[in-house]
Amino acid sequence: MKLNNDLSKIKEENEFFMLTEKVKNFRKNNPNCEIISLGIGDVSKPIIKPIINAMHEAVEDLSKMETFKGYGDSSGYHFLKQKILENDYKNMDFTFDEIYISNGTKTDVCSILELFDINSTIYIPSLIYPIYKNGVHCLSRNLKYFHVHEKENFVPQVPNEKFDIVYICSPNNPTGIAYSYEDLRKWVNYAIENNAIILYDNAYSAFINSPDVPKSIYKIDGANKVAIEFRSFSKNISFSGVRCSYYVIPNKIYEGINKIWKKRTINRFNGADYIAQKGAEASYIEDAQTEIKKNIDDYLNNTKRLKSAFKKLGFTVFGGEDSPFLWVKIKEGINSWEIFNLYLKELNIIIIPGIIFGEKGDGFFRVSGLGSRENIEKAIEKLEKYYNYR
């Protein structure tokens, strides 16, 4: 018996595991200490009433013989696909067969690699959510990193060499920067010229407000021939604990591509939760959309408030315009784990050390605006007191 040795490439000390352990130990040794998290990647607002009502109705459906649902379509129910096509991809000519409902983008962006040849070369930016590289390792694929740089506002630049698969995340986690039409047009052209595929993580699309940033990569001409787009309901409708997501595989990428992928999906997945899908469907109701937008605006206002505070304290800050994340440059001349420890012990504030997202992130840390406004203000007060009285 032999294990998959590529799993050993997933290093706990460079991931969230070490951070969680550090916070857990600090809480244990300081039980009366109030800790504020600015590193939270989870949402803090509850699910809104129209969605909860729809989920209650779905529970009732399961209690009656005439409306009971067992196994559904492994690629999702048509009622949710219909709403996605009518709202998120209106006038883009996608079909039901090109939409897949799933239980989380975290799973989707890794499992999609099963669609491609095992010898495919995969290109991943050096500052990125760790799940991509860990997923590549789990499936024993060939991986190469490309560096993103501060002088280019951390926007990934197209390479001079050929790769088969490229991961792009916009709005980006961790940097909080959303890529413009022009940024993405270069990547789409690269993919077309090199017969490559873009795996486009668009989980934070609901936060996009800037007119020069597309809500979907399919707004770029030719993207439907080279890009698979992933979206999530976790952040916009507070489904991080419910689990529902979707992705699009355009038929134009390859003849019969969805026939091939459906064979795989039927054998590997029994479909997303019916209750979750009914809740996601309700998120497209007009009244629900109004409440969802208010929640997103609240998170963005939190982020802008944090950005303003950090800049006033002399930090260089990136992101936060079309994303709930800020990428903050450390000014103390210490590494990212050292500033994590400093903030935790001295200020009782949690931030995410940049090294978790790649070695080029060691001079930075990530901050999130997804917490409550009360905690954001408490954290800012602590930061201002610390830096103004040093």
CB atoms within 10 A of CB 66: 5
Predicted pLDDT of residue 43: 92
Phi, psi (rounded to 5 degrees) for 123: -115, 125
Per the listing, tokens 């010898």 go with 119
Token couple for 219: 């707004």
**In the predicted model, what is the mean pLDDT of residues 109-133?**
92
Q: To the nearest 10°, the Cα dihedral for 151, 201, 106, 329?
A: 20
Predicted pLDDT of residue 2: 85
Per the listing, tokens 């690629």 go with 75
Q: State yes or no: pLDDT of 52 exceeds 90.
A: yes
- pTM, whole model, 2 decimals? 0.95
pLDDT confidence bin for 6, thresholds 50/70/90 = confident
Predicted pLDDT of residue 146: 87
Distance CA 91, CA 70 (A): 33
Q: State yes or no: pLDDT of 12 exceeds 80.
A: no
- With a CB cutoff of 8 Å and minimum separation 6, the contacts of 336 are 330, 353, 354, 355, 356, 361, 362, 363, 364, 365
Q: Residue 230: what residue type?
A: F
Sheet holding 142-146: strands in order across?
99-102, 245-248, 227-232, 197-201, 165-169, 121-125, 142-146
Q: State yes or no: pLDDT of 11 exceeds 80.
A: no
- The helix/strand count (H/E) of the chain reads as 11, 13
Distance CA 309, CA 177 (A): 18
User: Average pLDDT of the chain?
Assistant: 94
Closest to 274 measured CA to CA, from 101, 99, 49, 53 = 101
Distance CA 101, CA 74 (A): 8
Distance CA 389, CA 342 (A): 16
Cα atoms in the 13 Å half-sphere on the side-chain side of 119:
0
Give residue 211's Cα distance to chain centre: 21
Q: Evaluate whether 239 touches 279 at the Cβ level (below 8 Å).
A: yes
Token couple for 201: 């993580």
Q: Evaluate whether 94 touches 71 at the Cβ level (below 8 Å).
A: no
Token couple for 71: 């196994």
What's the CA angle centered on 374, arms 370 and 380, to 5 degrees? Answer: 85
Distance CA 292, CA 299 (A): 11
In the chain, the domains with their CATH numbers are: 5-45+287-388 (3.90.1150.10), 49-285 (3.40.640.10)
Predicted pLDDT of residue 128: 86
For the chain, how big is the Rg over CA atoms in Å?
21
Token couple for 298: 């609240």
Tens-place pLDDT, residues 335-346? 999 999 999 999
